[in-house]
Amino acid sequence: MRGYPWYADNDITRKLGPYAAYAAGRVDFERLYPQSEPVLDWAKDDIKLLNQSILDDQDRWSWLSGEPLVRDFVHMLISHPVALTALTKVNSAYMDGFRDFSEFKQARIHMMTACRLLGHWDDHIIAKKWLQKKTLELWTRAWIRHTTRDSDIRRYHPTEKELDHAYQLIPPMRTPKAQRKWPWERVYSSIGLAEVRRANI
């Protein structure tokens, strides 16, 4: 079995790779991104509360300077603006939950993203079952991004109820026992994961 990120270097993965790489980066970004930002009125609020807000802001945003996506944005903005323009296409597809792609392309992107996100696992631990579970989670969150794309930050931090609802809507789970019927092997083989082992548990 090849090493991390395990999927093959072929025409399919080269085309979809930028989407998977960006999606993987966004997972960490959204995990760190503040869920709420207090809005204080300088004319009405207590000065101690305002001073504390400034200190909180420093803690809340201090991580941004070292965030890989932000560093990439700044680098492209200064050194390679054409690449930044191209990235807007990838970001647009991400924010729309990749819904303009076929179901199989969506599955491939999410599985390639899963491969990238599970990079802290040893090669011998990786199995189709774990990749599929992570793929379904990412697909569910993408479905939520699409359905809430005009709303606020909640799309980055969905509730358990929202996740459960979206999970029932993604293509592999739409019908009873769909997970067994859905052609996962076609997805595995198309991105070079056909030889990945199956978990026994």
pLDDT at 198: 83
How far is C-alpha 1 from the chain's CA centre?
Answer: 25
Q: Characterize 64-78 residue by residue with b for buried, 16 or more Cβ atoms within 10 angstroms of its Cβ, and e for exposed.
A: eeebeeeebeeebee
Spatial contact of 114 and 138, defined as CB atoms under 8 Å apart: yes
Mean pLDDT for the chain?
A: 84
Closest alpha carbon to 148 in 99, 86, 90: 99
What residue has token string 């966004």? 26
Q: Where are the domains of the chain?
A: 11-190
Q: What is the pLDDT of residues 47-61, one digit of tens each?
A: 666 566 656 666 667
Q: What is the pLDDT of residues 106-138, one digit of tens each?
A: 999 999 999 999 988 787 788 899 999 999 999
Spatial contact of 163 and 87, defined as CB atoms under 8 Å apart: no
Supply the pTM of this predicted model: 0.81
Query: Which token pair is 104?
Result: 């199989």
